């Protein structure tokens, strides 16, 4: 993964969606950044003949007694072979990915152990870029300079 | 009793021996020396502007011989629409150029914009994936109503509101129809969708281009229902190859259902690539390509209104339809929703006033064209559904209402208010037969039995008619057809008495090789085993217009009869010479030329031999040889009709519909081979049940095809279908062709969807769900459950 919060990130991810497995060249852009409140993450991944995926997440933070409630809405659009073969499962897949992300995000912020059970099945090759992105986000949400 | 192997015998299909033993020869089975392989790069977006296509990386890959893009074909002609349709105001339809490969814009997911030719298929695929297309995605135009309302987004930049034409049939009748509606005691209105279907022929499309640089001859092997039309389109419109320098061969073809009538860009691309590389170039579609790029079927949104009196007499009918033509006009796309649809809205009924309005709409979806039934299923579905709804509204018996409105047997020939002249029919007879074979009187007992098992049982009817035997050239020419629709046969009697019959119809599952041989055998009195049917090769056959529209028997079969009659006439001349009598004294029967009242006779074989060994012929008056060609152009369409009854059981807890029984009483005119006719009806009804309950091609709002594989597109399977009860004993032979045949290929797919849907609505109504008056196809468990649970 390369990039910065201002310019966006680029990453190459090998991902399997239902019957389609492909190497996605992805671009992620962050916008509508309100420190300690919310951020919009938009991404697009091109998988060559496998098609493409586009999507976004609106993430909000809300103080609650004893911590912070993280809310998010995710939408995903797919095209090409991904749509033809994987549309049936894409919403479920997007939800699964988002759940994994935020579970691990929680773990990254709160430290190991907080969500260890939930991330037990992750451990993918994308951990490196994930960690770095999570670190960026964590700093943003804490209101600090990235 | 029919003659053994003659007309009317249930002769087993001779072609099945090779099909069932793996000896069929399909395009994909053909491999030419030195052939290279093509793979097409196809758009992943529904609508986009092509800024540039970078082929450098693809060209650098191993084994790549050529990469061609839309720009390389821009100078070629467009693939035209076969019919010119006029809008209500008199303006001509919009006909955007359909290029070989997309150029400037891509207009649907699967729109091919480049082709790679490589030494191996794998290399071609890898290189196609390496093509970098810079395409700016544009808003996709998917929904028809939005497409028509949208003043800015256009599938074709030059076509406002994405409307191809706005057709009124018959425009002069509109005012009278509207007046009748104003005065009518009762009006039933129904809005419905005729769901979009993917044809799903068992064999995907495939083409091999070949070029002989020594002679300048092109050869195209391709999966076509219609090789001569393909040759004509490529030669005269797209590539400008002289027609006599192009041979099109359609070998065994594994089903078409309409989707292989048309010329597709891949055919021109492999021919051009073959010439450029001086090597044969082969392309075989994979199933995903078929889903994306074969011409789809149906896709109408219709509002139909029926005006009646309170006894159920039909007073007037009017419809408004949006017909999706997809991104480009496929060859029959303009005639299917118009002259194959609007002209059928009379059905078998004497409705005096009818007006049909159809707007054809461009969208960013695959082209839509004729699919088994082509327009006629859409007409029949609308009509039979609105009649059913009217019967419920007025609490009338659907059998009695149909009888009340049928054209009576003594009214033929009958001129309909939508421009057809039905030559013959007896709709009351087929309905009476249906009541019998479907045991309609026993329905109530079966319903009670279903109820005891917790199931809702319903009975649905459909009395359908179609115009087929396509088509009288004079009539269709007056209506805008750019081609004639005759057919052709050559009967070649060899010196040793066996026969080759070259026919313009193409067999891709119909059984022509068996049935056409039965006809010739019957007429000539020679064994069917000595007769071969040759089809699908423009270098062997004089001409032909292919197979679609249930035309093969009625049109090409009639050409065969005409050619056989010429052979008999010539045989009589030869016999008169050999027997030294006047030609008028010769009679021909059961393979024997004889002089009645004498023992003078010559067998068919002796005549054939003499024709090729003319040692003592008076050459001024008698020409050697025994080969005759006939072109047959029908005087009218043929009008098969029938009555169908479907019983369903609906599970009220899950919404699942099971087809419990399906009965068909059809009038196909004279039947040549009852077994093959049964098979055609079985296949057609299975396809109709598929449309009614299972199948739907779905695009999302971005124009992505969501049903791109068999995981998401449900085809009917054996366990979705009951045993069919099929009867074709109520025959009123066609009055204007020599076989008296009407055609049966599309019948099942036309008559069955409304019967299924009427049955489901009946089941729900009887089960107390009186608010459910319509559910759009396909009637999946989810849709039925949602209707039940309101």
Q: What is the mean pLDDT of residues B93-109?
A: 98
Closest listed residue to residue B6, CA positions, set B518, B740, B516 = B518
Domain CATH code at residue B423: 3.30.365.10
What is the reported pLDDT for A45?
87
Residues B512, B455 share a domain = no
Q: What backbone phi and psi angles, to 5 degrees, belong to B159?
A: -110, 110
Going across the sheet that includes B105-106, the strands are: B105-106, B48-54, B132-137
Residue B155: inside a domain, yes or no?
no
What chain B residue is nearest to A52 in terms of C-alpha separation?
A: B44
Rg (CA), chain B: 27
Question: pLDDT digits over B133-173, tens only?
Answer: 999 999 999 999 999 998 899 999 999 999 999 999 999 99
Residues B362, B426 share a domain = yes
CB contact under 8 A, B709 and A85: yes
What is the reported pLDDT for A11?
87
Q: What is the mean pLDDT of residues B373-399?
A: 98
What is the reported pLDDT for B620?
95
The percent of residues in chain B predicted with pLDDT above 70, rounded, is 99
- Sign of the CA dihedral B381, B204, B260, B677? negative
| A78: chain B residues, CB-CB within 8 Å | 704
The HSE-up count of residue A44 (CA atoms within 13 Å, CB side) is 5
Whose structure tokens read 């951020």? A39
What's the number of domains chain B is made of?
3
What is the reported pLDDT for B2?
62
Q: Is A81 on the interface with B (CB under 8 A)?
A: yes
Residue B23: inside a domain, yes or no?
no
Q: Which residue has the higher pLDDT, B70 or A79?
A: B70
pTM, 2 dp: 0.94
Token pair, residue B284, equals 């075989």
Tabulate helix, strand, coil % of chain A (nearest 5): 35, 45, 25
Question: pLDDT digits over B407-430, tens only?
Answer: 999 999 999 999 999 999 999 999
Token pair, residue A93, equals 């897949």
Whose structure tokens read 């993450």? A41
Task: Provide ipTM, 2 decimals.
Answer: 0.75
Q: Distance (Å, rounded) from C-alpha B320 to C-alpha B330?
A: 22
Q: Distance (Å, rounded) from C-alpha A28 to C-alpha B49?
A: 24
Please, what's the largest Cα pairwise distance for chain B? 87
What is the reported pLDDT for B182?
98
Other C-beta atoms lying within 10 Å of the C-beta of residue B340: 25
CB-closest option in A49, A52, A88 to B129: A49
Q: Is A80 on the interface with B (CB under 8 A)?
A: yes
Q: What is the mean pLDDT of residues A25-46?
A: 89
Residues B587, B715 share a domain = no
Question: pLDDT digits over B635-656, tens only?
Answer: 999 999 999 999 999 999 999 9
Q: What backbone phi and psi angles, to 5 degrees, belong to A124?
A: -85, 175
Q: Distance (Å, rounded) from C-alpha B267 to C-alpha B246?
A: 12
What is the reported pLDDT for A134?
65
Question: pLDDT digits over B562-610, tens only?
Answer: 999 999 999 999 999 999 999 999 999 999 999 999 999 999 999 999 9
Return the minimum-mean-pLDDT range out of A88-92, B263-267, B449-453: A88-92
Q: What is the mean pLDDT of residues A110-137?
A: 53
pLDDT beyond 80 at B545: yes
Of chain B, the end-to-end C-alpha distance in Å amounts to: 57
Q: Which of B615, B632, B649 is the last residue of a domain?
A: B632
Q: What is the mean pLDDT of residues B342-351?
A: 98
Of chain A, the end-to-end C-alpha distance in Å amounts to: 16
Q: What is the mean pLDDT of residues B394-417?
A: 98
| A52: chain B residues, CB-CB within 8 Å | 44
| B138: chain A residues, CB-CB within 8 Å | none
Residues B601, B655 share a domain = no
Most confident of A32-41, A104-113, A135-144: A32-41
Whose structure tokens read 């001409």? B543
Q: Distance (Å, rounded) from C-alpha B144 to C-alpha B303?
A: 14
Q: H helices within B185-336, ranges in order?
A: 227-232, 265-277, 287-293
Residue B177: inside a domain, yes or no?
no
Q: Angle CA(B152)–CA(B158)–CA(B161) in degrees, nearest 5?
A: 45
What is the reported pLDDT for B561?
98
**What band does A124 get if pLDDT is binned at 50, 70 and 90?**
very low
pLDDT beyond 60 at A128: no
Residue B60: inside a domain, yes or no?
yes
User: Which of the four CATH numbers 3.40.720.10, 2.60.120.10, 3.30.530.20, 1.10.3720.10 does domain A2-141 have?
Assistant: 3.30.530.20
Q: What is the mean pLDDT of residues B703-715?
A: 95
What is the reported pLDDT for A129?
56
Residue B433: inside a domain, yes or no?
yes
Return the minimum-mean-pLDDT range out of A42-56, A115-129, B740-754: A115-129
Q: How far is A101 from chain B (nearest CA, A)?
A: 27
Q: Residue B780 belongs to what domain range?
A: 300-471+636-788
Residues B317, B267 share a domain = no
CB contact under 8 A, B712 and A88: yes
Q: Which of B599, B632, B665 is the last residue of a domain?
A: B632
What is the reported pLDDT for B65?
98
Please, what's the largest Cα pairwise distance for chain A? 49
Identify whether the C-beta of residue B434 lies closer than 8 Å to the C-beta of residue B464.
Answer: no
Residues B548, B650 share a domain = no
**What band does A126 get if pLDDT is binned at 50, 70 and 90?**
very low
**Cis-peptide into B413, omega within 30 deg:** yes
- A/B interface, count of CB pairs below 8 Å: 50
Identify whether the C-beta of residue B210 lies closer than 8 Å to the C-beta of residue B218.
Answer: yes
Q: What does DSSP say about strands B601-603 and B592-594: parallel, antiparallel, or unpaired?
A: antiparallel
Q: Angle CA(B710)–CA(B712)–CA(B716) in degrees, nearest 5?
A: 60
Q: Is A52 on the interface with B (CB under 8 A)?
A: yes
Dihedral angle, C-alpha B666, B668, B669, B674, nearest 10 °: -90
In A83-122, the residues whose Cβ lies within 8 Å of chain B are 83-85, 87-88
Residues B304, B250 share a domain = no
Going across the sheet that includes B724-727, the strands are: B456-465, B641-650, B657-667, B724-727
Helical pair B747-766 and B376-393, crossing angle rounded to 10 deg: 20
The mean pLDDT value of chain B amounts to: 97
Q: What does DSSP say about strands B499-503 and B36-42: parallel, antiparallel, or unpaired?
A: unpaired
Residue spans per domain, chain A: 2-141
Residues in chain B whose Cβ is within 8 Å of chain A: 44-45, 109, 125, 128-129, 288, 291-292, 700, 702, 704-709, 711-712
Q: Distance (Å, rounded) from C-alpha B549 to C-alpha B374?
A: 8
What is the reported pLDDT for B605?
96
Residues B652, B579 share a domain = no
Q: Distance (Å, rounded) from C-alpha B15 to C-alpha B25?
A: 11
Exposure letters B138-149 (e unless 16+ CB within 10 A, then b) = bebbbbbeebbe
Domain CATH code at residue B213: 3.90.1170.50
Q: Is A54 on the interface with B (CB under 8 A)?
A: no
Question: pLDDT digits over B492-519, tens only?
Answer: 999 999 999 999 999 999 999 999 999 9
Residue B162: inside a domain, yes or no?
no
Q: Which residue has the higher pLDDT, B546 or A7?
A: B546
Q: What is the mean pLDDT of residues B522-545?
A: 96
pLDDT beyond 90 at A50: no
Q: What is the mean pLDDT of residues B339-356?
A: 98
Return the minimum-mean-pLDDT range out of A92-101, B260-269, B529-538: A92-101
CB contact under 8 A, A83 and B45: no
Residue B464: inside a domain, yes or no?
yes
Q: What is the mean pLDDT of residues B540-556?
A: 95
Q: What is the mean pLDDT of residues B718-733?
A: 96
CB-closest option in A48, A49, A84 to B708: A84
CB contact under 8 A, A83 and B291: no
CB contact under 8 A, A84 and B128: no
Residue B304: inside a domain, yes or no?
yes
């Amino acid at each position: 993964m390369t990039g910065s919060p201002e310019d966006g990130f680029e990453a190459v991810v090998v991902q399997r969606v239902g019957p389609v497995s492909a190497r996605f060249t992805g671009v992620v852009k962050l916008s509508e950044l309100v420190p300690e409140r919310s951020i919009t993450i938009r991404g697009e991944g091109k998988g060559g003949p496998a098609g493409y995926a586009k999507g976004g997440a609106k993430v909000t933070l809300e103080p609650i007694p004893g911590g912070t409630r993280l809310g998010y809405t995710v939408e995903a659009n797919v095209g090409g072979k991904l749509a033809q073969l994987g549309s049936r499962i894409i919403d479920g897949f997007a939800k699964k990915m988002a759940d994994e992300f935020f579970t691990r995000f929680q773990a990254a912020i709160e430290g190991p152990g907080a969500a260890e059970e939930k991330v037990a099945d992750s451990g993918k090759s994308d951990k490196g870029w994930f960690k770095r992105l999570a670190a960026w986000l964590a700093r943003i949400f804490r209101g600090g300079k990235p | 009793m029919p003659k053994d192997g003659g007309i009317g015998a249930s002769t087993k299909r001779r072609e099945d021996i090779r099909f069932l033993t793996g000896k069929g020869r399909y395009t994909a089975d053909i491999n030419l020396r030195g052939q290279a392989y093509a793979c097409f790069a196809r758009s992943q977006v529904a609508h986009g502007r092509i800024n540039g296509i970078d082929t450098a990386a693809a060209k650098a890959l191993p084994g790549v011989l050529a990469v061609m893009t839309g720009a390389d074909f821009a100078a070629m002609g467009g693939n035209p629409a076969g019919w010119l349709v006029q809008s209500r105001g008199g303006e001509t339809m919009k006909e955007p150029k359909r290029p070989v490969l997309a150029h400037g814009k891509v207009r649907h997911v699967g729109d091919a914009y480049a082709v790679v030719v490589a030494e191996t298929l794998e290399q071609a695929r890898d290189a196609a994936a390496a093509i970098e297309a810079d395409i700016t995605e544009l808003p996709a135009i998917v929904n028809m109503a939005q497409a028509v309302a949208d003043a800015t987004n256009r599938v074709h930049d030059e076509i406002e509101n994405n409307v191809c034409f706005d057709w009124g049939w018959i425009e002069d009748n509109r005012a009278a129809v509207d007046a009748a509606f104003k005065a009518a005691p009762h009006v039933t209105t129904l809005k419905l969708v005729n769901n979009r279907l993917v044809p799903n022929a068992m064999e995907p499309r495939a083409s091999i281009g070949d070029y002989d640089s020594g002679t300048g001859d092109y050869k195209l092997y391709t999966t076509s229902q219609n090789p001569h039309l393909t040759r004509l389109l490529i030669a005269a419109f797209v590539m400008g190859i002289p027609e006599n320098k192009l041979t099109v061969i359609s070998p065994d073809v594994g089903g078409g259902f309409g989707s292989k009538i048309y010329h597709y860009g891949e055919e021109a691309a492999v021919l051009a690539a073959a010439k450029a590389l001086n090597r044969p170039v082969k392309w075989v579609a994979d199933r995903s390509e078929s889903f994306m790029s074969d011409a789809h079927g149906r896709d109408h949104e219709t509002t139909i209104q029926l005006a009646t009196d309170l006894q159920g007499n039909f007073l007037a009918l009017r419809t408004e339809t949006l017909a999706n033509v997809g991104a480009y006009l496929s060859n029959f796309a303009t005639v299917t929703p118009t002259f194959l649809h609007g002209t059928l809205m009379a059905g078998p009924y004497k409705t005096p006033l009818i007006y049909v309005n159809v707007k054809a709409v461009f969208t960013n979806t695959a082209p839509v064209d004729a699919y088994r039934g082509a327009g006629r299923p859409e007409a029949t579905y609308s009509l039979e559904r609105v009649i059913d709804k009217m019967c419920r509204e007025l609490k009338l018996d659907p059998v009695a209402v149909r009888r009340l409105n049928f054209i009576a047997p003594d009214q033929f020939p009958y001129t309909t208010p939508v421009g057809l002249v039905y030559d013959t029919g007896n709709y009351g007879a087929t309905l009476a037969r249906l009541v019998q074979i479907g045991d309609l009187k026993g329905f109530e007992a079966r319903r009670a039995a279903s109820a005891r098992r917790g199931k809702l049982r319903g009975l649905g009817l459909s009395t359908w008619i179609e115009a087929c035997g396509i088509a009288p050239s004079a009539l269709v020419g007056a209506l805008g057809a750019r081609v004639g629709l005759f057919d052709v046969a050559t009967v070649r009697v060899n010196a040793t008495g066996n026969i080759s019959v070259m026919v313009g119809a193409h067999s891709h599952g119909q059984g022509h090789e068996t049935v056409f041989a039965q006809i010739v055998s019957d007429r000539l009195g020679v064994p069917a085993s000595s007769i071969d049917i040759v089809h699908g090769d423009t270098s062997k056959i004089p001409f032909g217009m292919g197979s679609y529209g249930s035309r093969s028997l009625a049109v090409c079969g009639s050409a065969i009869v005409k050619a056989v009659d010429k052979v008999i006439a010539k045989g009589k001349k030869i016999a008169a010479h050999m027997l030294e009598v006047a030609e008028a004294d010769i009679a021909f029967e059961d393979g024997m030329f004889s002089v009645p009242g004498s023992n003078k006779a010559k067998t068919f074989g002796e005549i054939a031999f003499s024709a090729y060994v003319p040692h003592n012929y008076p050459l001024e008056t008698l020409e050697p040889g025994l080969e005759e060609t006939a072109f047959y152009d029908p005087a009218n369409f043929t009008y098969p009709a029938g009555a169908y009854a479907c019983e369903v059981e609906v599970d009220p807890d899950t919404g699942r519909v099971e087809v419990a029984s399906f009965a068909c009483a059809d009038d196909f005119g004279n039947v040549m081979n009852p077994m093959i006719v049964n098979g055609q009806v079985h296949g057609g009804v299975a396809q109709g049940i598929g449309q009614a309950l299972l199948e739907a091609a779905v695009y999302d709002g971005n124009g992505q095809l969501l049903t791109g594989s068999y995981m998401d597109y449900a085809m009917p399977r054996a366990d979705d279908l009951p045993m069919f009860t099929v009867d074709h004993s109520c025959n009123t032979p066609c009055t204007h062709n020599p076989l008296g045949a009407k055609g049966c290929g599309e019948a099942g797919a036309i008559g069955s969807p409304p019967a299924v849907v009427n049955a489901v609505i009946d089941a729900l109504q009887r089960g107390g769900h009186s608010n459910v008056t319509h559910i759009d196809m396909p009637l999946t468990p989810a849709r039925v459950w949602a209707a039940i649970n309101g």
